[in-house]
Structure formats: C-alpha cells, structure tokens
Amino acid sequence: MTPDALVPLYGFVEGDTLGLLVLVRTTDTIARLSFVLQEAAQVRVAHDPQFVVRHRDLRLEPTLTVAAAGLTALDRVDLVREASA
C-alpha cells in the first residue's frame, strides 16, 4: 500500500439502517474514521462521543492510524456505543 493511499471501507453505525462506503487515508487516525462515518450517517443517527470503532471483534484505539490498525480496502468497520462495545 502506498503511503497516504485512499482506503474505501464499509462502515456500519449502530442504530443506522444501512452500510455506508467511506473513504479514508492510510494516515488518518481511527478518531478521524469515526468522525467521517458519523458525518456520513448523521441524517439518521446523531453524532455521539460514546461511539468507538470496532473491526473483527477488536476495539481500535482512536490514536492508531488506519494503516497501523491493519485496515485494508473494503474491510468492514463498526461504530458502536461504548456500552455495547
């Protein structure tokens, strides 16, 4: 993967009705990914500071980069509220 490449991901926000396609960069943080996904879903689900990002049953630290978290094109990521994470 080239540095700072675009990574398309399938994102699912808890409480939402569908899966979204979001584009992030490998250098973006997980916190940025969370924001992008919440923006994409905001018509149906309000932003919530309780949201955390999960990938394959693992909670991803907000400070990690997309690359460091091991996310690759068309992975599934979930935004879930802390209580249900």
Partner 1 sequence: MLKRQEWLDLARKLDWTYSYVQERDVFPEAMSGRPWLEHAHWQGWDEPYRTTFAEYVTGQHEKEGAISAVRDAVGKVADFGRHDRAWLSALKLHGATLPLAEFAAVIGNLRAARFGRDSAWRITAAFGALDELRHTQIPLAVLHELVHWDPQFDWTHRFFHTNEWVAVAARHFVDEMLLGSNPIEFAIATNFVFETGFTNLQFVGLSAVAHAVGDRMFEKMVQSIQTDEARHSQIGGPVLRTLVEHDKAYAQYLVDKWFWRAWLFFAVVTGFAMDYLTPLEERKQSFREFVDEWIVEQFERMIHEYGLERPWYWAEFQKSTRYYHHLLYASAYTYRATVWFDLVLPSPEERAWLAEKYPESWPELAPVWERITERCRAAGPGMEWFTHGVTPVGFCSLCQLVLCGGTPGKNSARVVEKDGRRFVFCSEPCAWIFEREPERYTAHRTIVERILAGEAPANLIELVRDYFGLSEATWGKDAHGGRYPFTVDAPGGSAA
CB of 36 to partner 1, least distance (A): 9
CA gap 49, 28 in Å, rounded:
18
Phi, psi torsion values for 17, nearest 5 degrees: -105, -10
CA gap 69, 26 in Å, rounded:
9
CA gap 78, 11 in Å, rounded:
6
Q: Based on CB atoms, which residue is closest to partner 1, 1 or 74? A: 74
Q: Based on CB atoms, which residue is closest to partner 1, 8 or 63? A: 8
CB of 24 to partner 1, least distance (A): 12
Q: Based on CB atoms, which residue is closest to partner 1, 46 or 63? A: 46
Which residues make up the interface to partner 1 (CB under 8 A)?
8, 10, 12, 14-23, 39-40, 43-46, 73-76, 84
CA gap 10, 76 in Å, rounded:
5
Q: Token pair of 28, please?
A: 């973006």
CB of 67 to partner 1, least distance (A): 18
